[in-house]
Amino acid sequence: MKEIKILSNDKQGIYSELLPQCESLIKEERELVSLLANFTAILKQTFDSFSWVGFYLIKNGRLILGPFQGKVACSVIEIGKGVCGTSVQKGETIIIEDVDEFPGHIACDSGSRSEIVIPIFSNNKIFGVLDIDSYKYSNFDSVDKANLENLCYILSERISKLDNSKV
C-alpha cells in the first residue's frame, strides 16, 4: 500500500489526483470489508472538510452501518428515513447544504452542517450508500457529486467482481 499524495489545492485538482490512486487501491483489494474501509480512509485523509465518511449497506431491507471513519454513528437506518434512506428510496445522490433544513435528517454528530449521500449499485441492485458529512455549511457541490459518483461507480464494479460481496 502506497502513501496517498495530493499536491493540488483546488477541489477538482484534488479529485483528479485522487482518482488514479483510488483506482489502484480498489484494484488491489480482494476483501469487501477491507475495500470499503480503505475507501473511507482515502477520502477522509484527503479532504480536511470531511468530518465523517462511511457506508450504510443494505441488509434485510434496511441500511446497516458499514466501515467508516469518524465519530460513532447510528447503526440502522430504515429505507426512506434520513438522508441515507431517502437516497436509497430515490436511487439518486442527495446534497444537503444545511442539515437543519432537511426534514427527517438523522443527526449522529451535532456538529454536522452539510452532507452528501451517493447510492451504490452492484449487479444492478442497490448495495448501499456512501455518506459524507462536513462541519461546514454547503461543503458539497456538483464537483463532489460528479467525482464521488465516478469513484462509487468504480468501487461498485470491483464489488460486483468479488466472490465475498455479500454483507
Q: Is 118 in the site for ligand SME (CB under 6 A)?
A: no
Residue whose C-beta lies closest to ligand SME: 82
Report how far apart, in Å, the C-alpha atoms of 29 and of each of 114, 141, 152 are: 30, 29, 15
Closest CB 42 distance from ligand SME, rounded Å: 18
Sign of the CA dihedral running 81, 83, 85, 90: positive
Residues facing 65 on adjacent strands: 56
Determine contact, residues 51/70, Cβ cutoff 8 Å.
yes
Closest CB 4 distance from ligand SME, rounded Å: 23
Tell me the per-residue interface mask from 76 to 115 with ligand SME, x by CB under 6 A, - otherwise.
-x----xxx--------------------xx-x------x
Angle at 46 between CA 144 and CA 31, to 5 degrees: 90
Q: Which residues lie near ligand SME (CB under 6 A)?
A: 52, 73-74, 77, 82-84, 105-106, 108, 115, 131, 133
